Structure 1
Amino acid sequence: MAPSAFTIAEEYTSCLKTVSSVDANFVHADNHGGHVASNLIGDALKARVESVNQDTCGAGEEDAFFVADLGEVYRQHIRWKKNLPRVKPHYAVKCNPDPQVLRLLAELGTGFDCASKAEIEQVLKMGIDPSRIIYAQPCKTKSYVRYAAQHGVKQMTFDNADELYKTKQLFPEAELFLRILTDDSASLCRLSQKFGASLDSTADLLELAKKLELNVVGVAFHVGSGASDPKAFLKAVQDARFVFGQAASIGIEMHTLDVGGGFCGDTFEPMAEVLSEALDVYFPPHIRVIGEPGRYYVSTAFTIACHVIARRTVADATLGTTSYMLYLNDGVYGNFSSIIFDHQNPVPLVLNCGNRFLYDTRRSGYDTPTVTEYSIWGPTCDGIDVISQSCTFPETIDVGDWLYFEDMGAYTKCSATRFNGFTDSHDIVYVSSEPGATALLGL
């Protein structure tokens, strides 16, 4: 059974303890807002860093770690409900399968977008009803389809004829969404080159589905991860309306539209406004609408702290300058995989330098004319393992100091590897800057 809202609230209350605990725990505030969130995250970072003595700690005790503010996830959910009340979010598990994030979203009533057997299994083990899951993978492994069938996960996407024959063979009772091609040229991560049926092929696919007596219940699209052009949603909704019409003309009555993901925190309101207006124009109220947000929920909720494990001095005799190469205990083969796979540029910030704790001071302290240049590198022996080619700090960073990076919740730890034998699993300290999250978990 899924934990009830009361169960989670009770757990949150029982976990009111100091953040110096190395165990994953929840820390709460009596009020909310950015200031409280910053204080909670800063306190958690400081407590953990001060608990590590680099000269005596055991191997791995100084590893990189996350602080996750579940209050931020909650605020994003409320923001979604305010701006897209018609669209029920199905969180994209692939983005960050953190179990506490999934538990919170489950209690908030979201659905889940799963792309593999493992993701479906993780959600089902939480006690989530299979009707809240969409297997949003147009090209699926046969054994995974059998697993979905055995566990009643009926909603799934397709975009080609072979997938229809596969479904007829393995799961004829499935509820199918025809995923259509969209213009994702303005997106951070383009998906149309891999998935989506062109409008030239949708009529034939619908005819085949009807011939095979399969149940096509809706249309799905995805404007690309990290979309930046609101007009992409408008065109996609118009195309979906066209396919709904094609289906109706041959006797297929569809009832659901899946608007996919692509939502970013920075551009969410204008995106939501265009999408909402398009839905109202092209789809009557009885049509169910779902979405698949991922990074929108978690990107800003996670902060990572990394230890400086080594430093090299780079002296340029010609220019008379000195810079430094800093080596951290995490890099692009670990939680900074987002640099390669998600086109991110994490910004290094100084957490502590010597005995000074400097979290959240860069806004007032980095205008000093005296700065030192650094490049930031990961711990592996691969030359591409670079986090930042050039950055500057007013402080002189040395071995044993800590840096931190904000907005590290999306496509980071989910794609970390064990290359060179480094760990792909890092501790997470949970805090909550929104007490209201626990009170509203049952909504």
Structure 2
Amino acid sequence: MPMPKRRIQARYRRSGASFSVQDRDLVAALENIKNTRATASYGNANAYSSATASGVHADVPTALGVYVKGLAHTVGFKDSLQNEPDAEEVPVPEQPKTLTLEHVYDAFTVETIPSRRLVDVHARAAELVEKHSLEENFCIVDLATVKALYDYHKAKLPRVRPHFAVKCLPDRGIISTLAALGAGFDCASQGEVELVTGLGVPSERIILAHPVKRPCDLRCIAEYEVPYTTFDSVSELHKILASKVKVKLILRIRADDPMARLPLGAKYGAPLDKVSELLSVAALLNLDVAGVSFHVGSSSRNPDAYRNAIQFARKIFDEAKEIGFNMHLLDIGGGFTGSFDANGNVTEAPSNFDRVRDALDEIFPDDGTFEGLQIIDEPGRYFAQAPVTMACLVYGTREGTNDAGERHMDYYITDGLYGSFNGIIYDGLDLPTYFLQPNKVAPLAGIDNDFDKIKISSTVYGPTCDSLDCVMRNIPLPELSNGDWLMFPDAGAYTMAGACDFNGILCSKYLCFYVSSEKMTSTATEKELSDLVYANDRPACTLVQNR
């Protein structure tokens, strides 16, 4: 009977369950310590400017303690970090020919419309409803709008290469358009990497910008050779070491704009007082920290938040240089918005690209201080919001009275809080709406007739059985009928991307029709805004009011 393999006597405890570390793991740890760039001054980043082998040997127990702690962090799934269990090898899709706008427009059957105004989008929507006998949710995606936003970004921030935040709207047409224009991509998961590379985008244009990765995400980095990924904790460093993946690391720091619609720092981003420790551990583990990233928050309201964060990043670049890291990537995150004024000019208000550019030129001058410096950002809402108009079918009506005894109408549409309107709860979504009646002769229902002048207090419900599934409550709408459509402009950001199919209702499956506007304009004229667009100025339900 063969003797069982001996395991090291030292045992550690996690969540009440014991586990063991084999001798070979500690031997490998000691070998890494011998080859590390770090000294024994663990926790003091400034001491790394004089890293020597003798310095390491001076305090091997300290260094070994860091490695053993890392083994304790990863032993529970260390093998799965490197090998996908019981899975067949999936070949990486062959890269198609280089994307061009012509190729994209042909692949997605893009139709030209006169402008991005409501009246022209409405006319195209009416054609689609008639041609395809539509009765489920659909959207119209204007790829010319995407290009206009990209060109403006390039003009205002010439040193910054945008990396579209795929999570905001993983739409194949928008991704392909941005790829053809030269953008990179901020992916947060294996699925997003596979989506982007499957459209022909080379992996060197991707950053996997999730600071806490699942085992499958680490394997994805290795399989697709994604060059960069972010981290914000010691635990993540140990996971990356255990995975043996070759990737450059970007330290994500916390740099919140308290005025942002959705600050993100509570969940991700290392506090500044942890930066030295993280750099120290990375050096000790012989991992390559190549830059700094931050995200001031979604829909930032304060342009100075970027300047403050850029200043923090510069201090970290300088500190890391003393240790021996060759930092060359600065990722300034997202938080920008994009819209069009009456003359068709892009505006990023309340953000301010000019102030961001000035801060970059002042704090990270293009003077060779950091050789090969690359600056990227991660705009999601900026590219995704304005190009998309969603359309939802009215399939039920109910007449009643409100608390004041006045006539009130309830309408039921094919999307709701469990679908694309999830942002009402999670993202502060407050979409304007207008209506489409395919049987009306007028190019936009309500123009030059009395129909729109009769407005009734109305509530719009989503399609699920949940009574909280309410999109708009007590707003003035014209009287609608089954078969009419409600249309929601500027609706691409964090809407369809977060939809689910609760109740078996396929809210996550929008039909997408692509157009290219010949002229950039604001979504609506002042008259259309006052006469035809109904702003949802009340929260949808008590749940939102009390959040």
1:385 and 2:469 equivalent? yes
**Deviation sequence 1:218-241 (CA, Å, 0-9, x none):** 000001111111111111111111
Name the CA distance, whole Å, in 2 between partners of 1:112 and 1:157. Answer: 14
Q: What is the Cα deviation at residue 45 of structure 1?
A: 0.3
Q: Quote the residue 1:406 is aligned against.
A: 489
Distance 1:209 1:319, change over 3 A: closer
Task: Select between 205-214 and 123-132 the one with higher mean Cα deviation.
Answer: 123-132
Correspondence 1:415 to 2:492: no
2:137–2:392: 8 Å Cα contact kept in structure 1?
A: yes
1:36-47 pair list within 5 angstroms:
38=118, 40-47=120-127
The question of 1:149 aligning with 2:213 is answered no
SS at structure 1 position matched to 2:335: coil
Shift of the alpha carbon at 1:50?
2.6
Structure 2 length-normalised TM: 0.71
Query: CA contact under 8 A between 1:40 and 1:431: conserved in structure 2?
Result: no
Q: State the 1:64 CA deviation.
A: 1.4
Q: Give 1:256's aligned residue.
A: 329
Aligned to 1:9, which of 102, 111, 127?
102
| Structure 1 residues 418 and 176, CA gap change in structure 2 (3 angstroms) | same
Q: Do the aligned residues in 1 keep the contact of 2:167 with 2:188 (CA within 8 Å)?
A: yes
Matched, 1:240 2:313: yes
| Deviation for aligned residue 1:52 | 6.2
Q: Do 2:129 and 2:438's aligned partners in 1 also have CA atoms closer than 8 Å?
A: no
Check the 8 A contact 2:137/2:510 in 1, yes or no.
yes
CA distance in 1, matches of 2:177, 2:311: 34
Note closer, same or farther for the CA distance 1:340–1:397 as it changes in structure 2 (3 Å cut). Answer: same
Q: What SS does structure 1 have at the residue aligned with 2:273?
A: coil
Q: Distance in 1 between matches of 2:445 and 2:361?
A: 43
Q: 1:137 to 1:347 in 2, by over 3 A?
A: same
1:46–1:357 Cα contact (<8 Å) kept? no
- Give the aligned partner of residue 324 of structure 1: 409
Cα deviation per residue 1:158-177 (whole Å; 9 max; x = unaligned)? 00001111111214521110
Unaligned runs of 5+ in 2: 1-94, 340-346, 521-547
Q: Is the 8 A contact 1:74 1:434 kept in 2?
A: no
Aligned twin of 1:376: 460
1:66-86 alpha-carbon deviations (Å, 9 max, x no partner): 011111111110110111111
Q: How does 1:292-441 map to 2 (within 5 A)?
A: 292-316=378-402, 319-352=404-437, 355-357=440-442, 359=444, 370-393=454-477, 395-423=478-506, 424-434=508-518
Mapped pair 1:69 → 2:148: no
1:113-164 deviation digits (Å, cap 9, x = unpaired):
0000000111122222211100000000122102211221120000000111
Q: Give yes or no for contact 1:375–1:389 (8 Å, CA) kept in 2.
A: yes
Aligned residue for 1:229, secondary structure, equals coil
Taking structure 1 as reference, are residues 89 and 361 closer, same or farther at Cα in structure 2, changes over 3 Å only? Answer: farther
Whether 1:188 aligns to 2:188 is no
Letter in 2 for 1:388: M
Provide the rounded CA distance (Å) in 2 between the counterparts of 1:12 and 1:105: 12
Aligned-residue Cα RMSD (Å) equals 2.4
State whether residues 89 and 293 of structure 1, in contact with CA within 8 Å, keep that contact through their aligned partners in structure 2: yes
C-alpha offsets along residues 291-328 of structure 1, whole Å, 9 cap, x if unaligned? 00011001010101111111111224x74410101110
Paired with 1:12 and 1:327, the residues of 2 have a C-alpha distance of 35
Distance 1:435 1:171, change over 3 A: farther
Cα 1:136–1:36 change in 2 (3 A) is closer
Q: Does the 8 A contact of 1:37 with 1:69 survive in 2? A: no
Identity across matched positions, percent = 36
In the alignment, structure 1 residue 283 sits paired with structure 2 residue 364: yes
Distance 2:423 2:381 in 1: 12
Name the SS for the 2:325 alignment partner: coil
CA distance in 1, matches of 2:245, 2:455: 65
Superposition deviation, residue 49 in structure 1: 2.3
Distance 2:362 2:481 in 1: 59
Structure 1, unpaired ranges of 5+: 16-23, 54-60, 437-443
Q: Which amino acid aligns with 1:43?
A: A
Residue 251 of structure 2, aligned match among 150, 158, 178: 178
> What SS does the corresponding residue of 2:174 show, helix, strand or coil?
helix
Write the letter of the residue equivalent to 1:185: P
* Contact 2:119 2:444 (C-alpha < 8 Å) held by counterparts: no
1:160 aligns to 2:246 (yes or no): no
The 3 A distance-change label for structure 1 pair 261 and 367 is farther
Is the CA contact (8 Å cut-off) linking 1:346 and 1:387 kept in structure 2? no
Contact preservation (8 Å) 1:37, 1:433:
no
Q: Check the 8 A contact 1:315/1:322 in 2, yes or no.
A: yes
**Preserved contact between residue 72 and residue 434 of structure 1 (Cα < 8 Å):** no
Distance 2:450 2:258 in 1: 36
Q: Does 2:141 match 1:106?
A: no
CA gap of 1:319–1:336, structure 2 versus 1, over 3 A, is: closer
